[in-house]
Amino acid sequence: MTFRGADELRARHNAAVHPGVRTTRIRPRKTIAPTERGAAESARGAAWIQTFSGGQFWPLDPNPKEIRIADIAHSLSRQCRFLGHCGPFYSVAEHSVRVSHVCGGGYTALWGLLHDASEAYLGDMVSPIKRFSQLGHEYRLIESAVMASVCVRFGLGQSEPPEVSAADNFLLCWEARDLVVPHPIPFYGEDSTALPEEILTPMSAPRAERAFLARFAALYPEQFRKRARSVAEQGMEAYRALMAEMTVEQKRALGKAWHDENLYVAEQADMAEVKTGEQPDGTLVTGK
């Protein structure tokens, strides 16, 4: 995977917009192969971020051990949908809670709640760049690896259920109708007759964080912990078989979704790691 600097991208843009104008040639950076999990910890280098809980997370080398629901809830509650191009502040965390409720309950609802969890560690990228550029293609590879680790961490299958995609699109149209106005063109084929009459009123960031954690607590009981352990065992077998057949290039293309032989799923419920509750004054309680 090659990451190009801003200077090179700028030079390519200038060459396309101003053909015939000589520009300085930028030498591409050398591609750096992904580090092996068996290597020393220092091999991961400085490519990490600090999380809300005070931990470290390596976006280019994601590990399920380092994913925490408190970090996801806090980060997503502080990130605004539509890149901030909406009237009131509307968080990704609230969007996720609403998607989860549209999905109903059980496994699909938990997937819906966590469908944007990778954004807690990567941020998001606007759709035109994400879908129609090489930069977006490379971002999606990284996003897939982080999301795969989220799925392993919480015992979810690697494929997003179609019900989650449908709920996500439904919320997109509802949010656009009430929060992103006026529209220069009909938003994503928005059909106002299919949307609720209720006007969507956004929560504050702290309230969205509490709602996210409360929804998680309701959806992650013992049966999901058991499923998580089962998925981890199946993943280990799938990993060994897959690695035996794949070439080095194929392994890189995999995006490190199954990246080592230490696939980790917590044996304890996340509620043992993050206890949540709302006091009479509305403050959030977190702790171990």
* Contact present, 11 and 27 (Cβ < 8 Å): no
Structural contact between residues 239 and 261, judged by C-beta atoms closer than 8 angstroms: yes
So where are the chain's domains? 47-273
pLDDT at res. 113: 97
Distance CA 109, CA 219 (A): 7
Q: Which two tokens stand for residue 199?
A: 């006007």
CATH number for domain 47-273, candidates 3.40.50.150, 1.10.3210.10, 3.40.50.300, 1.25.40.10: 1.10.3210.10
Nearest to 95 by CA among 211, 198, 14, 1: 211
pLDDT of residue 237: 58
Structure confidence at residue 45 (pLDDT): 83
Contacts of residue 168, defined as CB under 8 A and 6 or more positions apart, other chains included, come to 99, 112, 115
What pTM does this model have?
A: 0.66
| Residue 95: C-alpha distances to residues 18, 37, 43, 164, 179 (Å) | 41, 34, 37, 12, 12
For residue 165, what are its two tokens?
């995609």
pLDDT at residue 22, rounded to an integer: 53
Classify residue 139 by burial, with Cβ atoms within 10 Å: 0-12, 13-18, 19+.
middle
Find where tokens 């591409």 sit: 28
**Across the 288 residues of the chain, what is the mean pLDDT of every consecutive 10-residue run?**
49 59 45 44 76 95 93 97 95 98 93 98 94 94 95 91 95 92 72 80 96 92 59 55 55 41 32 39 34
Report the alpha-carbon distance of residue 192 to residue 201 in Å, rounded: 17
Supply the pLDDT for residue 244: 60
pLDDT at 24: 44
Helix extents (H) in 31-91: 69-77
Mapped onto helix, strand or coil, the DSSP state of residue 42 is helix
